[in-house]
């Protein structure tokens, strides 16, 4: 059975046949070399003085070409991947050109550009005494010209696949753009870079046409291995076959070692590789006097921000204030955070933190730490190195930074995972490390984008508690984007409700809970919210039906009726007595919230209503999906909020 199930589908003959022919076509020349090689003479051929000399020259030329390609191609790839500029498509075509140009045409072009009578040739000769044609440096230039595109294309692809949140987070932790490049970007695109470098080297090693046209064929000076093959073919074909075999083996070895890696994305790597050391080597830039020790430098930073663009709002907050930013999808929460970070052109923030106006400062100098939705832990660094990243960027000595980072990890309950890489952490553990990393960076404004979203209920409660404890001692302002009402109410001193980028409500949680200014906020907070028009003794509901209230508003006023789910009673039979709002309905859904049950009741006489009751009461009433029930709400339990 299982063999049947795992048997692969047979490919259609119409496709399989030409595909096999293609393989045979590509294989035939290689088989030709293998079968015609004089194996007995192979050693003698490959060790003849001419071949050894050409091999030496090939290695020298190809390694120089690789060096130049790295030096020029890496920044070019970065520019193409990261910077928007006019004529980018043209530059990209220019990069690709040597790949499609016949190499001899490339050689002619090089002669006309850098040759003795070319555009730059006389200047090079007059100023530096350099004559490229018939000189090894000319062979290097020719090889670089044809090989560098492989590096640029490979690396640009890898950079394009790298999510920007890693680099942006690194900047928010105080890292200069150059340091971000060396400590985050390069290590994360290392597979693409290595693959590109290997292809570039292999292409440079095999370069023939441009070299012979531009640099000539001088033994010991420009006669590389491919040129040797060409010469040998004329009077020693067996030796040419042997040298061809050598080049073939080298090319195949490179391709097999890469195994298609140049098309891979820079996913989380387990091995830090050689670039991890760059973290220590890269330059740093001081952000200001930051005495070590307490979180956020032990100072106090009130926030004043005026945001324009997609977001239009003003935000003022005292030091130590935690503000929950809530709103429907697309309300502009993330855009607001990115504006405060200086990371988006879609909104601009005039931002003052304490006495410092940071409006004109780049993200890495604002001391605004950010935890994006995905945490964006640097995959090539351990949890400890991630956490000490911000401190190291601010030139805190390595040992001090690591000790402080370890203390933060301990506080957030992940100290024992300090030496693990992010790929070895669960989603919740990674989120805690991301929090530790932001808090350890001594920020003056802390921005958390759904920081607890990846955590399970128990961990969430634990981390919420830890977060509250640390935020209590934090001298800056903290903005937390959240969709979780418990998080908003329990963590925040204020709830900022956004709608279309503007402030719909900015008030303490108790006020927002009691008087939510939109049905969406009310529902997010777990309350029933019915919009309508005030009448003599209540509300004419927009969705149809009437609601009797104790304290009516002036007739005609637009209002939102708020009913707490705990104020809704559920009955099997029509209740008699005081409640004046009574509706027949059907149970649509029963869900548990902590130790209580939420019952959604649909009715033809009123909008959907959520009631919260105990499991015992639900059992007593025999509540199941589809059960016919009555709901009632006392007039005194309805709060009207004017819109």
Ligand X SMILES: Nc1ncnc2c1ncn2[C@@H]1O[C@H](COP(=O)(O)OP(=O)(O)OP(=O)(O)O)[C@@H](O)[C@H]1O
| Dist. CA 385–CA 402, nearest whole Å | 7
Taking residues 305 to 334 in sequence order and writing x for each that binds ligand X by CB under 6 A, - otherwise, the string is: -----x----------------x-xxxxxx
Q: Considering beta carbons, is residue 202 or 331 the nearer one to ligand X?
A: 331
Q: In the bound complex, what is the minimum distance in angstroms from residue 314's beta carbon to ligand X?
A: 18
3-state SS record for 94-159: HHHHHHHCCHHHHHHHHHHHHCCCCCCHHHHHHHHCCCCCCCHHHHHHHHHHHHHHHHHHHHHHHH
482 binds ligand X (CB under 6 A): no
Torsion of CA 209, 211, 215, 218, to 10 degrees: -90
Q: Considering beta carbons, is residue 152 or 325 the nearer one to ligand X?
A: 325
By CB under 6 A, the count of residues binding ligand X is 10
Residues 36 and 30: beta-carbon distance below 8 Å: no
- Residues linked to residue 44 through DSSP beta bridges, in sequence order: none
- Interface positions, 187-246, toward ligand X (CB under 6 A): none
Q: In the bound complex, what is the minimum distance in angstroms from residue 346's beta carbon to ligand X?
A: 6
Q: Considering beta carbons, is residue 292 or 309 the nearer one to ligand X?
A: 309
Structure tokens at 491: 């963590």
Q: In the bound complex, what is the minimum distance in angstroms from residue 21's beta carbon to ligand X?
A: 48
| Dist. CA 595–CA 618, nearest whole Å | 12
Taking residues 343 to 362 in sequence order and writing x for each that binds ligand X by CB under 6 A, - otherwise, the string is: ---x----------------
Q: In the bound complex, what is the minimum distance in angstroms from residue 373's beta carbon to ligand X?
A: 7
Q: At residue 5, what are phi and psi to the nearest 5 degrees?
A: -70, -35
Q: Considering beta carbons, is residue 337 or 610 the nearer one to ligand X?
A: 337
| Dist. CA 364–CA 612, nearest whole Å | 48
Q: Considering beta carbons, is residue 113 or 309 the nearer one to ligand X?
A: 309
Q: Considering beta carbons, is residue 393 or 448 the nearer one to ligand X?
A: 448
- Residues linked to residue 534 through DSSP beta bridges, in sequence order: 539
Q: Considering beta carbons, is residue 449 or 612 the nearer one to ligand X?
A: 449
Q: Considering beta carbons, is residue 230 or 520 the nearer one to ligand X?
A: 520
Maximum pairwise Cα distance, the chain:
115
Q: In the bound complex, what is the minimum distance in angstroms from residue 459's beta carbon to ligand X?
A: 22
**Measured on CA atoms in the order 22, 23, 27, 28, is the torsion positive or negative?**
negative
Q: In 3D, which of 143, 144, 135 has the Cα closest to residue 221?
A: 135
What is the SS3 assignment for 59? helix
| Dist. CA 145–CA 132, nearest whole Å | 13
Among 62, 224, 242, 335, binds ligand X (CB under 6 A): 335
Q: In the bound complex, what is the minimum distance in angstroms from residue 382's beta carbon to ligand X?
A: 30
Q: In the bound complex, what is the minimum distance in angstroms from residue 342's beta carbon to ligand X?
A: 15
Q: Considering beta carbons, is residue 452 or 582 the nearer one to ligand X?
A: 452
CB atoms within 10 A of CB 38: 13
Taking residues 266 to 305 in sequence order and writing x for each that binds ligand X by CB under 6 A, - otherwise, the string is: ----------------------------------------
Q: In the bound complex, what is the minimum distance in angstroms from residue 446's beta carbon to ligand X?
A: 17
What is the SS3 assignment for 243? helix
Q: In the bound complex, what is the minimum distance in angstroms from residue 332's beta carbon to ligand X?
A: 4
Residues 527 and 564: beta-carbon distance below 8 Å: yes
Residues that bind ligand X (CB under 6 A): 310, 327, 329-335, 346
């Amino acid at each position: 059975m299982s063999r049947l199930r795992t048997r692969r589908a047979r490919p259609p003959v119409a496709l399989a046949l030409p595909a096999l022919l293609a393989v045979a076509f590509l294989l035939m020349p290689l088989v030709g070399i293998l079968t015609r090689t004089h194996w007995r003479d192979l050693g003698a051929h490959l060790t003849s003085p001419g071949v050894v000399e050409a091999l030496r020259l090939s290695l020298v030329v190809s390694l120089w070409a690789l060096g130049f390609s790295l030096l020029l191609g890496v920044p070019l790839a970065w520019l193409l991947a990261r910077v928007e500029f006019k004529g980018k498509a043209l530059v990209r075509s220019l990069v690709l050109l040597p790949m499609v140009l016949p190499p001899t045409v490339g050689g002619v072009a090089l002669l006309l550009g850098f040759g003795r009578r070319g555009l730059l040739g006389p200047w090079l000769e007059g100023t530096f005494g350099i004559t490229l044609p018939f000189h090894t440096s000319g062979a290097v230039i020719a090889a670089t010209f044809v090989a560098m595109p492989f590096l640029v294309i490979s690396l640009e692809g890898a950079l394009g696949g790298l999510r920007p949140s890693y680099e942006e987070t690194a900047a928010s932790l105080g890292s200069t753009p150059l340091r971000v490049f060396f400590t985050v970007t390069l290590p994360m695109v290392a597979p693409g870079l290595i693959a590109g470098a290997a292809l570039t080297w292999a292409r440079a090693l095999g370069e023939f046409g441009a070299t012979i046209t531009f640099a000539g064929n001088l033994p010991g000076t420009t006669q590389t291995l491919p040129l040797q093959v060409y010469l040998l073919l004329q009077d020693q074909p067996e030796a040419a076959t042997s040298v061809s075999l050598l080049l073939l083996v080298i090319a195949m070895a490179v391709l097999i070692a890469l195994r298609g890696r140049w098309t891979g994305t820079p996913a989380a790597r387990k091995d830090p590789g050689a670039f991890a050391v760059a973290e220590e080597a890269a330059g740093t830039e001081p952000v200001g006097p930051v005495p070590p020790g307490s979180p956020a430098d032990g100072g106090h930073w009130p926030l004043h921000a005026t945001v324009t663009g997609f977001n239009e709002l003003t935000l003022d907050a005292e030091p130590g204030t935690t503000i929950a930013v809530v709103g429907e999808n697309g309300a502009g929460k993330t855009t607001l955070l990115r504006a405060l970070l200086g990371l988006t052109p879609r909104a601009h923030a005039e931002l003052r933190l304490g006495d410092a106006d940071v409006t004109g400062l780049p993200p890495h100098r604002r001391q605004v730490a950010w935890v994006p939705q995905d945490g964006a832990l640097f995959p090539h660094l351990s949890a400890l190195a991630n956490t000490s990243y911000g401190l190291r960027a601010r030139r805190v000595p390595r040992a001090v930074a690591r000790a402080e980072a370890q203390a933060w990890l301990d506080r957030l309950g992940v100290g024992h995972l300090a030496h693990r890489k992010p790929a070895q952490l669960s989603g919740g553990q990674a989120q805690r490390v991301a929090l530790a990393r932001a808090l350890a960076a001594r920020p003056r404004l802390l921005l958390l984008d759904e920081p607890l979203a990846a955590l399970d209920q128990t961990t969430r409660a634990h981390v919420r508690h830890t977060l509250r404890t640390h935020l209590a001692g934090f001298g800056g302002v903290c903005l937390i984007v959240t969709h979780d009402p418990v998080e908003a109410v329990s963590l925040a001193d204020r709830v900022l409700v956004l709608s279309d980028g503007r402030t719909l409500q900015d008030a303490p949680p108790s006020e927002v809970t009691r008087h939510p200014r939109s049905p969406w906020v009310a529902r997010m907070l777990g309350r029933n919210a019915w919009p309508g028009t005030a009448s003599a003794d209540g509300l004419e509901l927009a969705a149809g039906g009437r609601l009797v209230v104790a304290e009516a508003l002036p007739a005609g006023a637009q209002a939102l009726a708020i009913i707490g789910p705990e104020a809704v009673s559920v009955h099997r039979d029509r209740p008699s007595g005081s409640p004046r709002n009574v509706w027949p309905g059907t149970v649509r859904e029963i869900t548990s919230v902590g130790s209580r049950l939420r019952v959604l009741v649909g009715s033809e006489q009123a909008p959907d209503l959520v009631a919260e009751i105990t499991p015992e009461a639900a059992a007593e009433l025999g509540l199941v999906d589809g059960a016919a029930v009555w709901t009632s709400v006392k007039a005194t339990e309805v709060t009207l909020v004017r819109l």
